[in-house]
Amino acid sequence: MLLLAVLAAGLIGLGGGYILWGWPANWYAARDVFKLPATPENQLIQYGWQLVTETPRLIGKSASDPSLRYAGNDLACTQCHLKAGNKAFAAPFVSTFASFPMMVNDEVLTLTDRINGCMTRSMNGQPLPESSREMEALLAYMRFIGEGSPEGVRVTGMGLFPVAPAPEPPDRARGEKVYAHSCASCHGANGQGQRNSAPQVGFLVPPLWGDDSFNSAAGMSRLTTAAAFIRANMPYRTTEAHNPSLGVQEAWDVAAYVTSQPRPAGPADRAASLTSN
From 120, 155, 190, the end of a domain falls on 155
Structural domain of 189: 172-269
Q: Are both 23 and 149 inside the same structural domain?
A: yes
Which residue, 93, 124, 155, sits at the end of a domain? 155
State residue 208's pLDDT score: 98
By mean pLDDT, which of 21-35, 163-177, 192-206 is the weakest? 21-35
Same domain, 43 and 148: yes
pLDDT of residue 204: 97
Which parts of 201-241 are beta strand (E)?
Answer: 203-205
Whether 74 is in a domain gets the answer yes
The reply to whether 77 and 125 lie within a common domain is yes
Are residues 140 and 178 both part of a single domain?
A: no
Q: What is the mean pLDDT of residues 41-59?
A: 98
State the Cα–Cα distance between residues 52 and 78, nearest whole angstrom: 6
pTM of the predicted structure, to 2 decimals? 0.88
Q: Are 45 and 139 in contact (CB under 8 A)?
A: no
- CA separation for the pair 215, 246 (Å, rounded): 25
Same domain, 203 and 141: no
Whether 77 and 199 share a structural domain: no
CATH of the domain at 211: 1.10.760.10
In a domain, 48, yes or no: yes
**Do residue 30 and residue 135 come from a single domain?**
yes
Residues 28 and 139 in one domain: yes
65 inside domain: yes
Cβ pair 181, 53 in contact under 8 A: no
Q: What is the pLDDT of residue 30?
A: 83
Model confidence pLDDT, tens digit, residues 225-273: 999 999 999 998 888 899 999 999 999 999 999 999 999 999 976 555 5
DSSP H/E element including 133 = helix 133-145
Q: Which residues contact 37 (CB under 8 A, 6 or more apart)?
A: none
140 with 72, same domain: the answer is yes
pLDDT (mean) for 207-218: 98
Separation of alpha carbons 6 and 146, rounded Å: 15
Q: How many domains does the chain have?
A: 2
User: Which residue in 18, 19, 49 sits closest to 31, CA to CA?
Assistant: 49
**Residue 121 burial by CB count (10 A; 0-12/13-18/19+): exposed, middle or buried?**
buried
Pair (188, 64) in one structural domain: no
On whether residue 93 sits in a domain, the answer given is yes
- Residue 26: is it exposed, middle or buried by C-beta count within 10 angstroms (0-12/13-18/19+)? exposed
pLDDT in tens, 110-124: 999 999 999 999 999
Q: What is the reported pLDDT for 20? A: 45
- Among 155, 188, 205, which residue terminates a domain? 155
Same domain flag for 178 and 100? no
212 inside domain: yes
Asked if the structure places residue 245 within a domain, the reply is: yes
Gap between the Cα atoms of 33 and 30, Å rounded = 9
Residues 267 and 275: their CA atoms lie apart, in Å, by 12
Same domain (yes/no): 39, 138: yes
